[in-house]
């Protein structure tokens, strides 16, 4: 049985670190390649999360986390297409859902 610690490790590695790397890309000629790599990392992270065997309590609000990953994947897909307006929209939605998931988990642990 996995725990929320496993969720945190996967999120740190696949979500937060990848997003931080994407923000550091300054050369526009490299942004599409970076987005392609980020898409793969986000998708791998989502797959890892979905494979976890979590208790019913630990699975609460997991839908928000899944949606956060799906939105960030859409965001980097739009970056690859050059549609930065839609990329920004999905990126903001992803961040909001990840934040809501974290808030919900904090309330449950109180």
Q: Tell me: the pLDDT tens digits for 71-104?
A: 999 999 999 999 999 999 999 999 999 999 999 9
Q: What is the pLDDT of residue 110?
A: 66
- Where does residue 82 fall: left (phi above 0), alpha (psi -120 to 50 degrees), or beta otherwise? left
Residues 6+ apart with CB under 8 A from 95: 68
């Amino acid at each position: 049985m996995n725990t929320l610690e496993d969720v945190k490790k996967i999120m740190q590695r696949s979500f937060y670190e990848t997003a931080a790397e994407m923000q550091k890309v300054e050369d526009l000629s490299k942004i599409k390649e970076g987005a392609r790599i980020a898409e793969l990392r986000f998708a791998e992270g989502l797959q890892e999360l979905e494979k976890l065997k979590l208790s019913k309590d630990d699975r609460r609000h997991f839908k928000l986390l899944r949606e956060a990953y799906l939105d960030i994947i859409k965001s980097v897909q739009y970056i690859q297409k050059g549609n930065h307006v839609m990329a920004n929209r999905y990126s903001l939605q992803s961040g909001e859902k990840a934040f809501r998931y974290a808030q919900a988990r904090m309330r449950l642990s109180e």
